Structure 1
Amino acid sequence: MSAPDGRRRRGGGRGADGGREQSMVPRADFTSYYGRPVLKPPVWKEDIAYYFFLGGLSAGSALLAAGGDLTGRPALRRGGRLGGLAALIGGTYYLIVDLGRPDRFHHMLRVAKPTSPMSMGTWALSVFGGALGAAAATEFVPERWRVVRGLGSAAGVAAAAVAPAVASYTAVLISHTAVPFWNTAKDELPFVFVGSAAASGAGLGLIVAPRDQAGPARRLAVLGAGLELAASQRMEGRLGLVRGAIEEPTPKKFFTAARALTIGGAVGAALFARRSRTAAVLSGAALLAGSLAQRLGVFHAGVVSTEDPKYVVGPQRQQLAERERRPVSPGEGLGPKTSPDAHGDAGLGGH
């Protein structure tokens, strides 16, 4: 039946001719209450991206320093330990600035909760910092103090063993939040961070070590850059609607710079760093800058994804639509826990 003015009535019923009537209600836009964001943006400032970068750099440097120690490359070992410790100190500063009070970090050590990325990350960072600091301290003792030097080697290996956890825990931490971009990228983000950390550590190695000792740094540069670029490409391919966040001006600027610098640094390390000290330094600087740009891009993309309601509401609607299209198994619709209302609430609340 039609309304007196000839328009179709509202509703989804069928007309006399069996055709489905058109709804008079316009298609809903992605809006929110009084134009406010659906989610509050992260309370972190850009300082936290510097912590992500410096923590990853410290982890990559410690890993490379242990390799240099085991293969008889003293310049690579020394530069990795001291550079990694300096990066760790700088990262700790930015972490404390973000936390607001230094005692908040101390409070995290009162418990150990395996299911909490923050708790495990705090413990990993503490163990890593102690081991790396001890290894770096032995660089200032005479060579004849062999026992102390041996303890430094053991501490360096311990730091290298914890380094992958230090490089990746921040990615796990932010991906377990409600921020749409970070949460959607949770499967690839740890690999992006680990690859970026390895590339930045290799970049520092190319700068501090002479060419005849920088072989491991050159190889790690290629491997780290390859992992970072591959994981980033896969991440961008499965973001869906949230991909629009990385196309916004600020995140796009950083992601574009990160890709160009990382590729340039890896190519330089593989083809030119062996023959030219200048090329090695430039390649290392490019890898460091690319790693920093990657972290800044991830941070700003997360912030942008909370500012537009479509990045929050759209993925939830898509998940619900996929569940509705999924075949119902026998018995799935029985019981109060699988009722349509409960199913819908779980889908929205669990994202």
Structure 2
Amino acid sequence: MVPPAEFTSYYGRPIVKPSPWEIDIPAYMFAGGLAAGSSLLAAGADLTGRDALRRSGRLAALAGLSFSVVALVHDLGRPARFLNMLRVAKLTSPMSVGTWILSAYGPFAGVAAAAEVAAVLPARWRRGPVPLLMALGRPAGLVAAVTAPPVAAYTAVLLADTATPSWHEAYRELPFVFTASAAAAAGGLGMVTAPAAQAGPARRLALGGAIVEQLAEARMERSMGITAEPLHQGPAGRLMRAARVLTVGGALGSLVAGRSRVAAVISGVALVAGSACTRVGVFEAGQQSAKDPRYTVVPQRERLERGERVRYEADISRRR
């Protein structure tokens, strides 16, 4: 019997270096997705006359965006590094494109949230630029909603564009997973912060996001081949299982949340926590895959075999 192959590398060093990113990056990805989903939900609430849902969505978008930027700057080390990335626009760089997406989305989300704060000021303070700020709330909120989907999706492209095996092999479905997860989290937060009478769109967004997330994740794992294994092992596996339980449980709870405030809060918190676990779980799975040479070597061999098979079949067809 031939023993199973052991995959090693020169001097025991990883073939692909694990990313130097820390927990700041998955926190930045989660908060940015939550902000984007909240802006989209707030714009819909604004157009349908749901004032409480609009207000909570805009303020949640600003809070999520602020936390996301702080986490990103903390990972970069110095705020100036974020500003330096705005010196160029490089379409082939997900980091450069993402910086410009955030820069386009952030001011409008901030103005929309500021308009909500201005609306609750005493009448004697509504002078000078305050009325103008209140008037800009709707157009700023709509522009923020238009630019929100790229904010939720580009972080998946940022991961998939690396050489880290479990991130790179998920490049087809990971943007759908992250975007749907952001929708589920934003809907869950809307269920928590808005009264039940106005939270119908939040419940539907949460349910739809949870369903799409689970379907996209299942398809992603099938397409990843051997590199999907880290999603089921170690800390990443525990986080992904927790994410699945929380997301499915929150989605089921959203079906009865309209009749019970307690169910709405519990389900909403579960959906937000499930989205956070998804981001951290995917991040940890990628780090784990980079440390094991098997997840680099086996996919390379499979691609070579597929290429040789395609060339062989093309040669046979020409001879015929």
Range of TM-score over shorter length: over 0.9
Q: Bigger CA drift: 139-148 or 204-213?
A: 139-148
- Alignment partner for residue 159 of structure 1, among 141, 144, 158? 144
In the TM superposition, residue 101 of structure 1 has moved relative to its aligned partner by: 1.3
SS in 1 for 2:162: coil
Pairing 1:219–2:196 present: no
In the TM superposition, residue 147 of structure 1 has moved relative to its aligned partner by: 5.0
CA distance in 1 between counterparts of 2:4 and 2:274 reads 42
Pairing 1:307–2:291 present: yes
Q: Quote the sequence identity (%).
A: 55
CA distance in 2 between counterparts of 1:94 and 1:180 reads 25
SS in 1 for 2:197: helix
Alignment-derived partner of residue 239 in structure 1: 224
AA partner of residue 168 (structure 1): A
- Alignment partner for residue 177 of structure 1, among 158, 162, 170? 162
Alignment-derived partner of residue 66 in structure 1: 43
Alignment-derived partner of residue 276 in structure 1: 260
In the TM superposition, residue 148 of structure 1 has moved relative to its aligned partner by: 3.6
- Alignment partner for residue 189 of structure 1, among 144, 168, 174? 174
CA distance in 2 between counterparts of 1:112 and 1:57 reads 25
CA distance in 1 between counterparts of 2:5 and 2:237 reads 28
Alignment-derived partner of residue 81 in structure 1: 58
Q: Deviations over 1:58-95 (max 9, x none)?
A: 00111111111111111101101111111111111111
Higher relative contact order (CA 8 A, sep 6+): 2
CA distance in 2 between counterparts of 1:116 and 1:327 reads 32
Q: Which runs of 5+ in 2 are unaligned?
A: 121-125
SS in 1 for 2:136: helix
Alignment-derived partner of residue 244 in structure 2: 259
1:53-132 matched pairs, under 5 angstroms: 53-132=30-109
Equivalences, count: 309
AA partner of residue 159 (structure 2): I
The answer to whether the 8 Å contact 2:55/2:116 transfers is yes
CA distance in 2 between counterparts of 1:142 and 1:266 reads 33
CA distance in 2 between counterparts of 1:148 and 1:125 reads 21
In the TM superposition, residue 142 of structure 1 has moved relative to its aligned partner by: 3.8
SS in 1 for 2:183: helix
CA distance in 2 between counterparts of 1:222 and 1:244 reads 28
Alignment-derived partner of residue 234 in structure 2: 249
Q: Deviations over 1:181-237 (max 9, x none)?
A: 000000000000000000111111001100000010011011111111111000111
The answer to whether the 8 Å contact 2:102/2:151 transfers is yes
AA partner of residue 193 (structure 2): V
1:30-41 matched pairs, under 5 angstroms: 30-41=7-18
AA partner of residue 261 (structure 1): L
Alignment-derived partner of residue 10 in structure 1: none
CA distance in 1 between counterparts of 2:112 and 2:155 reads 24
Alignment-derived partner of residue 270 in structure 2: 286
Higher helix share: 2
Q: Deviations over 1:8-29 (max 9, x none)?
A: xxxxxxxxxxxxxxxxx98853
Alignment-derived partner of residue 14 in structure 1: none
In the TM superposition, residue 114 of structure 1 has moved relative to its aligned partner by: 2.1
CA-based RMSD of the aligned residues comes to 2.1
- Alignment partner for residue 47 of structure 1, among 10, 24, 48? 24
Alignment-derived partner of residue 123 in structure 2: none
